[in-house]
Amino acid sequence: MEWLHIALECAPFLPFLPFLPFLPLPTPPRIGFVSLGCPKALVDSERILTRLRAEGYDVVGTYEDANLVVVNTCGFIDDAVHESLDAIGEALARNGKVIVTGCLGARPETITARHPTVLKVTGAHAYEEVVQAVHEHLPPLHDPFVDLVPPQGIRLTPRHYAYLKISEGCNHRCTFCIIPSMRGDLASRPIGEVMLEAERLVKAGVKELLVISQDTSAYGADLKYATGFWGGKPVKAKFVDLARSLGSLGAWVRLHYVYPYPHVDDVIPLMADGKVLPYLDIPFQHGSPRVLKLMKRPAHAENTLERIQRWRETCPDITLRSTFIVGFPGETEADFELLLDWLREARLDRVGCFKYSPVTGAAANALPDPVPEEVKEERLARFMEVAAAISAEKLAARVGQRMRVLVDQVDPEHGAVARSAADAPEIDGVVRIAKPGRKMQVGDWADVQVTGADAYDLQAKVVRA
């Protein structure tokens, strides 16, 4: 479980208080914050913390130092539910005053049955409610002179990259997923608001924007692609227009959670022109049309192999990342073989795979023909073997190439860890630089030459930092 340390981020913005030398300053109320789950939950945490920090709350790093703890939970799969319930239990045992929010908050009875003493349970993206609950149980100090928050808000990611959430919820009803029942239908943020946030982040030093949502390519559909304004110019709330506008900011723009709708083709030329990163995170989930239909996946009827081939023709450098589920109810050996064939032909660059596990409340639980656990295990191993071989071959082909990387960690003794355009933080491989040199710092760009590769990572040397 990760505690969030953000105080330093605000240090340069501490106010100048000229005439109060003899008055004891009131102690700000102190909040502990536990953030679990996916990048979307992380963005929610950032929003809540930004608001609380703006109101003068201190965010502290231990349960014992906090006057109250907020736990932002995940409820996506049963393991995440258990982890969330354990985190709430730990916060209660070590602090006693706990407010719960996030995806699991959509099922308050699950939480209160095990932890009846929590002060309040709110659902996902219920920022106002969480803040209200904090006010109720730990009132803020009133100090109209204090404005502790930098204009870009509080971020929990390192200073050089940031997640940009463009919408909430989802209009699909994939049978294995309960996100729509927790987060509701698609609700896109107005384009002007998204662009303003992106602009502020880049001005504050962010070099990579990671665009996230539940369904990025559907952006703006609920707004009927309404035109907004940014920098005095009209811009449509549409996936491609958004990508083009973000691409004009001068930062890396990485698109996550894109579904293979036909209009996604329009973004590939932007990648070929270097406007947005040639990287698509596109959760295909399976290669068998029958299983995709059982999953009720968006765009399941698309001929994805043909599309991938066309994308590569337009943008040969494109990196395709995807996730898959094996052992979905009803998946036969023939379906699984189809998936392996699909993968061998698609030759995706980055691949994650999960064994299907039932989620309480998901429609897939009612499907017949569950796959036995040992078959799921075996299919997962076979799938990963094929995926790892493809990845190793593709990375080996990059040895000798030069590339630009963004530095995430520097240790002068053990080397630096960086990422290329092909690597999203946390989920993909990295580029290891053995001798980074004394000047290299976290958040720097570096030009490197690839000297070696394994199944997932590259090794490189600096050619010009």
- For 407, list phi and psi in degrees, rounded to 5: -85, 125
Instruction: Confirm or reject binding of residue 355 to ligand SF4 (CB under 6 A).
Output: no
The secondary structure of 302-345 as a DSSP string is S-HHHHHHHHHHH-TT-EEEEEEEES-TT--HHHHHHHHHHHHH
Residue 280's nearest CA partner among 351, 340, 328 is: 351
**In angstroms, rounded to a whole number, what is the distance separating the alpha carbons of residues 247 and 425?**
19
Least separation, in Å, of the C-beta of 388 and ligand SF4?
25
Identified binder of ligand SF4 from the candidate list 55, 215, 302, 335, rule CB under 6 A: 215
Identified binder of ligand SF4 from the candidate list 180, 330, 358, 415, rule CB under 6 A: 180
Instruction: Confirm or reject binding of residue 291 to ligand SF4 (CB under 6 A).
Output: no
Identified binder of ligand SF4 from the candidate list 170, 339, 390, 418, rule CB under 6 A: 170
Least separation, in Å, of the C-beta of 172 and ligand SF4?
4
Least separation, in Å, of the C-beta of 175 and ligand SF4?
9
Instruction: Confirm or reject binding of residue 131 to ligand SF4 (CB under 6 A).
Output: no
Q: Which is nearer to ligand SF4, 152 or 217 (CB)?
A: 217
Report CA Rg, the chain: 23
Contact region with ligand SF4 (CB under 6 A), list: 104-112, 165-173, 240-248, 305-313: 165-173
Place of tokens 């239909």: 293
Instruction: Confirm or reject binding of residue 174 to ligand SF4 (CB under 6 A).
Output: yes
Q: Which is nearer to ligand SF4, 50 or 217 (CB)?
A: 217
What is the enclosing helix (H) or strand (E) of 291? helix 289-295
The answer to whether the beta carbons of residues 200 and 210 sit under 8 Å apart is: no
CA atoms within 13 A on the CB side of 247: 19
- For 273, list phi and psi in degrees, rounded to 5: -85, 0
Q: Which is nearer to ligand SF4, 179 or 338 (CB)?
A: 179
Using CB under 6 A as the binding rule, the residues of this chain from 308 to 337 that contact ligand SF4 are none
Instruction: Confirm or reject binding of residue 177 to ligand SF4 (CB under 6 A).
Output: yes
Number of residues that bind ligand SF4 (CB under 6 A): 10
Least separation, in Å, of the C-beta of 174 and ligand SF4?
3
Least separation, in Å, of the C-beta of 173 and ligand SF4?
6
Contact region with ligand SF4 (CB under 6 A), list: 70-78, 107-115, 166-174, 377-385: 166-174
Contact region with ligand SF4 (CB under 6 A), list: 25-33, 176-184, 322-330, 429-437: 176-184
Residues pairing with 321 in the sheet: 281, 350
Q: 3-class SS at 449?
A: strand
Identified binder of ligand SF4 from the candidate list 66, 80, 179, 202, rule CB under 6 A: 179
Instruction: Confirm or reject binding of residue 298 to ligand SF4 (CB under 6 A).
Output: yes
Instruction: Confirm or reject binding of residue 172 to ligand SF4 (CB under 6 A).
Output: yes
Q: Tell me how far the alpha carbon of residue 376 is from its chain's centroid.
A: 27
Q: Tell me how far the alpha carbon of residue 169 is from its chain's centroid.
A: 14
Query: Which residues make Cβ contacts (< 8 Å) with residue 158, sequence separation at least 6?
Result: 408, 442, 443
Least separation, in Å, of the C-beta of 180 and ligand SF4?
5
**In angstroms, rounded to a whole number, what is the distance separating the alpha carbons of residues 375 and 379?**
6
What residues line the site for ligand SF4 (CB under 6 A)?
A: 170, 172-174, 177, 179-180, 214-215, 298
